[in-house]
Amino acid sequence: MTWPEASKAASENGSTLVWPFGACEQHGPHLPLITDTFFAENILIKTLDRLPENMPIWMMPSQSIGFSPEHQAFPGTLSLSADVLLSMVTDVGQQIASMGFNRLVFFNAHGGQIGLLQAVSRQLRIQCPSIAVLPCFLWSGVPGLDQLLPEKEVEEGLHAALAETSLMLHMAGDLVRNDSYLEIKNVDKQIVTTPKGWSLEGASPCAWLTEDLSSSGVIGDASSSNSELGAALENALVDHWKSLFTSLLESDWPPIRSERPVSSS
């Protein structure tokens, strides 16, 4: 895209930019450091390819280093501080808003930065009331995942386990370095039973570090990973995001104001 094309795109009604967010972090002994970035980029590309060409939506360059302190005990992991990531996203978001784009979607594939992107989205809305900001997580709300994955993996397969390994086997099997995942059946350190109602993630989570749970970097069971499951996961993800982007682009949602409302106090 050239600068005149960017200017024209921004002026279109409903103009929407999608910013893929990944990470550079360990994904066990078998998946590459760029796993999250690869998924964010490639699922988004496949999704956009299935949308009508005239829809006003464009993909930004990916953010490939994110907030990954939970994995820093493992070599290869690079992590920005929360302050740096928030500042960088705010700076870029303000520039996008000043160009006149109507929407900015964060298309994030790294679970460790969901909260940060939600926080900076609200901050951007205050600073740039003319642009809608939508912080999305690749795996959230996807219909049918609970039918494709065992219940235990849905709850405990947090990292480099059945879902991510199968998806990578299907999308880029040459990036799966070896068959070590066949030997990784669960976290390999004893986890103290959590009190009722609490969990590693979910409604009542804790701030876990990978080394608390696993010496391999895998959290979950990757041993039954296969490319057939990966193909089904890809279809579910692309179908879901195609549906969401279509409904978004055919609407005027979310509501935005060009100016902040005047306080009544």
**What is the predicted pLDDT for the residue at 245?**
98
pLDDT (0 to 100) of residue 168? 98
Instruction: Give me the amino acid identity at 101.
Output: F
The CATH number of whichever domain residue 229 belongs to comes to 3.40.50.10310
Tens of pLDDT, residues 142-174 = 999 999 999 989 888 889 999 999 999 999 999
Is 258 contained in some domain? no
* pTM: predicted TM-score of the whole model, two decimal places: 0.94
Give the structural domain span for 40: 13-247
What gap in Å lies between CA 214 and CA 223, rounded to an integer?
15
Residue 94 domain-assigned? yes
pLDDT, position 265: 42
Number of domains within the chain: 1
DSSP-derived 3-state class of residue 63: strand
Give pLDDT < 70 ranges for the chain: 184-193, 258-265
Record the tokens describing residue 4, joined without a space.
């005149």
pLDDT at 261: 44
Chain centroid, CA 215 distance in Å = 24
Please tell me the predicted confidence (pLDDT) of residue 223: 92
Q: Is residue 114 part of a domain?
A: yes
Name, in order, each residue with C-beta under 8 angstroms of 166's C-beta and a sequence gap of 6 or more: 225, 226, 227, 228, 229, 230, 233
Note the pLDDT of residue 250. 97
- In-domain check, residue 7: no
> What's the confidence (pLDDT) of residue 180?
79
Asked whether residue 214 is assigned to any structural domain, the reply reads yes
How confident is the model at residue 264, as a pLDDT?
A: 43
Output the pLDDT for position 34.
98
Helices (H), the chain: 3-11, 35-49, 82-99, 114-127, 145-148, 151-156, 162-172, 210-213, 227-249
Per-residue pLDDT, 263: 45
